[in-house]
Amino acid sequence: MSGMRWRKAARGGRAPAARRARRGFTLIEVMVAMGILAFGLLAMLVMQIYALQFGRSGLHTTRAGVLAQDRMELLQRLPWSDPQLTATAGFTAPAAIPNPDADGQSYNLARRVSDLAPNLKAIDVRVTWSEPNRPNRVHTISSIRHDDPGTP
């Protein structure tokens, strides 16, 4: 028998494993491959959705930081005797800030001024907003302002 196999292989005959490899894939193999591909594509879709959500959240946080910094700079430029720099008993009532973009996100701004010394004030600016899955977000920045009576 072994001589017969040798002669068959020498003439170009195919062994059973080689014949099976030439036939292609079975239906079960194709179904398993399609299932693995579908699972991978679904996982990528979920990752894309999360990336969009966190990107939007980062945009809102950045915008809140810019709004807080803008208000802080305004308070730093005011004259020392301006009524907005009088000491408050905590944060002022939040005031709505118009959103420059049309994404529908609204922000509220509040400030707190504390007298630390006769010529020294602590200023805090707080911006609040809510997102669909993350309500009551807060971004606060603080600064200290000194008044030198000898400077104009």
Domain locations in the chain as residue ranges: 24-146
Measured CA to CA, the distance from residue 53 to residue 104 in angstroms comes to 15
pTM: 0.66
The per-residue pLDDT for range 22-53, each reduced to its tens digit, is 678 899 999 999 999 999 999 999 999 888 87
Q: What is the pLDDT of residues 82-140, one digit of tens each?
A: 999 999 999 999 999 877 666 778 899 999 999 999 899 999 999 999 888 788 999 99
Whole-angstrom distance, CA of residue 58 vs CA of residue 145: 30
147 CB-near residues (< 8 Å, 6+ apart):
80, 119, 120, 121
Phi first, then psi: what are they for 73, rounded to 5°?
A: -65, -40
